[in-house]
Structure formats: structure tokens, C-alpha cells
Amino acid sequence: MSVVIRVSSMPTWGRTVLELRHVSAGYGEATVLHEVSLQVGQGDVVTLIGRNGAGKSTLLRSIMGLHPISSGSIKFLGRDITRLRPHRRARMGLGWVQDDRGIYSSLTVEENLRLPRVIGANAWAEERLFGTFPVLGQRRRQMAGSLSGGEQQMLALARVLRMGADVVLCDEPTEGLAPVIVDQIAEILREVASSGATILLVEQNLRFATTVAHKHFLIAEGHIVDHLDNSDVIARENDLLAHLGI
């Protein structure tokens, strides 16, 4: 394994919106995140790359407040949110797309869209959502559980867009989807990014990662071990793929 590098002063584009300092977390006795520190700037689109079980999902859940951290601190928009409950973090502008897409199968498509609280000025109106995701408009009265995998992923994205979150934590949005759909999702994420939102993306698909993001954290066994830009990723692709075990 490569030498652990503490990445705490990585250059960012705009002002820092999300900052983690020495965050550790685990399940029971097992520590899964070891003193993770990272910063994400306003408008950044960054990915977390790491093999299965590296702790990526745990990290996103910790940021969202859904997983207790054992030490360290988290700052969002300059405020310490370490002790804030998840719904408060959401109301401050944090959005989360769950790794299994988090579709409410007992709600209709429309209800899935209406459940999240509208929090930001840049929240998408329903017309805009249905313009971007026509299939959701067509199926608005259907139970969401009946959607296909791709459609469910669209719905999951649409929900955080409707919230108008400033920072979107997006956990493996392309997992298990057909290439055409992956392209569509890339398209949408770029659109989101261009509107000024910040995205922290968990991804194992390196091609996808480089088409939407411009910076990448490499995470291994709960440590941030490296940070790369797109050219690093392309140059070290084989190396990284081997590391990811793909």
C-alpha cells in the first residue's frame, strides 16, 4: 500500500464549502474511516475513488450525519455541523443520493419528488425536472418501485435537484446501469455542476469520473491516500484499475 498522505490543504477553486478534519468512524469495534481530512470548494466536482469496502459510502453517510463519527469535525458553509442532526444538515443545503438509489417503493414517482424539502433558491421546479427527465413526467402516478433501474437513478437525482442542495453527495450513480444511461447521467451531472452546485461523487467508473469531475480523492482502507486531477487519472488508469480490482 502506498504511503498515507494527509490531504488537508489541497487547492480548491472557490471558497471551501465542506471541510472534514480527522474524521474517524466505524461499526462497533471496527474502525472504517481513519482520520479522514478533506476540503471541497464552492463549485468543485470531485470524486472519491476506492475499491469495495474502502469506506466511501460510510464517509458520505458521516457527512450527512447518518453515521456517527467517533472523532474529528465536519464544517459546512463555515459552520461546524459535527453535532447537527441530518435533517438540519439537509436544510442547510446538503443533498445525498443513496448508493442503492433510495427509492421509496411505497410512494408514487410524484410523491418521491415532493417529499424532499425545497431548501435552496436553485431548486428545480417540477416543469424543469419533467423537461429534463421526461420519463418521470410520464410515470408520475406510478409507484416508484415499478421503475427500471435507470429510471430509478433518474428519480434519485431529480429528488436532490428539486431540493436545490448546494452540495450534492452522490454515491455510485452509475452502478449497474447501461452505457447509454450512464452517458445521460453524466450529462445531467455536468448540467448541475454548470449551475454552480458542488458535487462529491463516489465512483468506480474512471471514465465516467473524468468526464464529470476534475479532481479525485483516492481512498483505501479508510485513509485518503492520494489526490489526483484528470490528467493523473488518465495517465495512471491501469494502475488505478488494478488498485480498484476491476
Q: Give whichever of 26 and 86 is closer to other proteins, judged by the CB atom.
A: 86
Q: Contact with other proteins (CB under 8 A): which of 16, 26, 77, 104?
A: 104
**Binds 52: which of Mg ion, ligand ATP, other proteins, none (CB < 5-8 Å by kind):** ligand ATP
Residue 114 interacts with other proteins (CB under 8 A): yes or no? yes
* 115 makes contact with other proteins (CB under 8 A): yes
Listed in sequence order, the DSSP H helices in the chain are 56-64, 86-92, 109-114, 126-132, 134-138, 149-163, 179-194, 206-212, 230-235, 237-244
Residue 171 CB, shortest distance to ligand ATP, in Å, is 7
- Tell me if 140 contacts other proteins by CB under 8 A: no
Q: Which does 21 bind (CB under 5 to 8 A by kind): other proteins, ligand ATP, Mg ion, none?
A: none
Q: Which does 54 bind (CB under 5 to 8 A by kind): ligand ATP, Mg ion, other proteins, none?
A: ligand ATP
C-alpha distances in angstroms, 3 versus 39, 142, 224, 226?
Answer: 20, 51, 10, 9
Q: What is the grid cell recorded at 18?
A: 465542506
**Residue 55: which of ligand ATP, Mg ion, other proteins, none does it interact with, CB under 5 to 8 A by kind?**
ligand ATP
CA separation for the pair 177, 44 (Å, rounded): 25
Q: Which is nearer to ligand ATP, 21 or 34 (CB)?
A: 34
* Residues 34-73 interacting with other proteins (rule: CB under 8 A): 64-66
Q: State the number of binding residues for other proteins (CB under 8 A).
A: 27
Cβ-Cβ contacts under 8 Å for 163 (sequence gap 6 or more): 90, 95, 116, 117, 118, 119, 120, 123
238 binds, among Mg ion, ligand ATP, other proteins, none (CB under 5 to 8 A by kind): none
Minimum CB distance to other proteins smaller for 15 or for 85: 85
User: In a 10 Å sphere around its CB, with 0-12 CB exposed, 13-18 middle and 19+ buried, how is residue 114 labelled?
Assistant: middle
Q: Could you tell me the smallest distance in angstroms from the CB atom of residue 185 to other proteins? A: 19
**183 near Mg ion, judged by CB under 5 A:** no
State the DSSP H helix or E strand holding residue 37, giving kind and residue range, or none if neither: strand 30-41
Q: Are 212 and 44 contacting, i.e. CB atoms less than 8 angstroms apart?
A: no
Partner whose binding site includes residue 135, from other proteins, Mg ion, ligand ATP, none (CB under 5 to 8 Å by kind): none
Are 209 and 203 in contact by the 8 Å Cβ rule? The answer is: yes
Q: Rounded distance, CA 117 to CA 161, Å?
A: 11
CB distance 60 to 94 below 8 Å: no
CB of 137 to other proteins, least distance (A): 19
Residue 159 binds other proteins, judged by CB under 8 A: yes
